[in-house]
Amino acid sequence: MTGGGAIPKGGRLGGLSALVTQADAFMGPAVTNLFRAEGAEVVADCRDLREISAAQTLVEEVGHIDILVANLMFRNTRTPAHETSDEDWARMFDVMVHPLHRLIRATLPQMLARGRGKVVVMGSANGLRGTSIRSAYSAARGAQLSYVRSVGVEVAPAGVCVNAIAQNFVSNPTSYPAEVTGAPEFQARLAEVPIGRIARGEESAALALFLAGPESDFMVGQVISFAGGWA
């Protein structure tokens, strides 16, 4: 990373290497497209990271990583807490929490050795606000955000910035595809959002770009709510 907020030549991410996980889901497409447009060399990986060794293998294959975008998503199940099975509970953590730690654990050594690096976690505002019949999903999302806060302050002295976006009501192919956002029941739900609309995926990607670029070099361990005032 360039210190002091200087923008590299060739775009905000010119000359930098980025890894985006689950690149075909959630915020992966929007982030990948914008980062490439801003000059980054992006590895858009779509593999399942639940296997214990998968994250380490991925990072070793990619090699040099200036920016890690931990984009981890599983469809939000709407199940009462007393009906949530151990399997459903574990699945949320197996997809969204354990791979997050393994990805960061595998990537940090090279960033710490260089004295610079950016980690952006694409999280959910469900980890900030209690909502009914989403206990397993919300717990996993909350764990992601707590992890970011702790690791962020841990590695900040070494020049590595770890931050998260806690979003909701953002258009994406996994949570809010067109067939969902166009339904009358979803339009009624927008009454919960003070700004009164769903965000475009490009808007969240722009925030990820800020967190990945040199302008955010002074931000560490932050969880930024991006939910139109919902949280």
| pLDDT one-digit tens code per residue, 50-61 | 999 999 999 999
Residue 131 domain-assigned?
A: yes
Burial of 65 (0-12, 13-18, 19+ CB in 10 A): buried
Amino acid code (one letter) for 152: G
The verdict on residue 86 lying in a domain is yes
Q: What is the DSSP letter of 7?
A: P
Distance CA 86, CA 75 (A): 17
Any residues with CB less than 8 A from the CB of 183 and at least 6 apart, and which?
none
11, 35, 112, 163, 168 from 224: Cα distances, Å: 24, 19, 24, 8, 11
Residue 231 lies in a domain: no
Residue 1 has pLDDT above 50, yes or no: no
Three-class secondary structure of residue 123 per DSSP:
strand
Instruction: Express each pLDDT in 46-93 by its tens digit.
Output: 999 999 999 999 999 999 999 999 999 998 778 899 999 999 999 999
Catalytic residue among 26, 74, 89, 137: 137
* Per-residue pLDDT reduced to its tens digit, 97-119: 999 999 999 999 999 999 999 99
* Domain limits for position 16: 3-226
As a whole number of angstroms, the distance between CA 12 and CA 140 comes to: 32
Average pLDDT, the chain: 94
What's this model's pTM, rounded to 2 decimal places?
0.94
CATH number at residue 30: 3.40.50.720
- What domain count does the chain have? 1
Asked whether residue 60 is domain-assigned, the answer is yes
**Residue at 189 is within a domain:** yes
Is 137 catalytic? The answer is yes
User: Quick check: is 73 in a domain?
Assistant: yes
